Amino acid sequence: MFDDLKRKITTILDQKETSTDLRLQQVCELLRNTVPHYDWVGFYFKNGNKNELKLGPYAGQPTEHTIIPFGKGICGQVAISNENFVVPDVKAQDNYIACSLTVKSEIVVPLFLKGENIGQIDIDSNTLNAFSHEDERFLEFVNREVAKTLH
Ligand code: SME
């Protein structure tokens, strides 16, 4: 599944005539519609020179968490740690921002542009312990491809 998805993602991101936001939107929708355990897929980016994240394109239920200060929630922690954060059970996390009561696990993978952590992809699952190393490697690929379209 991931190999096929990788090809489709590269094709989407290669559409030079399409705005970056629309390309990222298409990536979110493709991932959410194709991977059974991806229930909410979105990108957050550093908001200008502020120490906060701003919600970018996403697919799934609207969230009220469109701005997340660095350090807050799983996303805010990844903005500082520069490392993937896999949460098998969101109920076991103290520093967690709930977007929907149906969410049971989450993965956040930072997105680097020229070595700088400029944002992240965030995925929520309604399944407990949904994410594996395979998801991490795949989402690192997605973020590398996205970074190529951003520079
Ligand atoms: N759960 C995230 C907030 C973003 S929503 O999942 C869309 C967090 O704890 O940072």
Could you count the other beta carbons within 10 Å of the beta carbon of residue 135?
20
pLDDT at res. 99:
87
Query: Per-residue pLDDT tens for 111-144?
Result: 999 999 999 999 999 999 999 999 999 999 999 9
The identity of residue 69, as a single letter, is: P
122: Cβ below 6 Å to ligand 1?
A: yes
pLDDT at res. 1:
87
Q: How far is the CA of 98 from the centre of ligand 1 (A)?
A: 6
Alpha-carbon span 44 to 77, nearest angstrom:
13
39: Cβ below 6 Å to ligand 1?
A: no
Q: Judge if pTM exceeds 0.85.
A: yes
- Give me the chain's average pLDDT, please: 97
If you search the block for the tokens 């390309």, which residue do you land on?
23
Query: Per-residue pLDDT tens for 17-72?
Result: 999 999 999 999 999 999 999 999 999 999 999 999 999 999 999 999 999 999 99
Nearest-CA residue for ligand 1 atom 7 is 99
Alpha-carbon span 88 to 69, nearest angstrom:
23
**Cα–Cα distance list, 133 to 8, 46, 48, 80, 86 (Å):** 21, 25, 31, 21, 9
Ligand 1, from 124, 126, 131: best to mutate by most atoms within 8 Å of Cβ?
Answer: 124
Range in 44-48, 91-95, 98-102 the model is least confident about: 98-102
Alpha-carbon span 73 to 151, nearest angstrom:
28
Domains and CATH numbers, the chain: 2-150 (3.30.450.40)
pLDDT at res. 151:
74
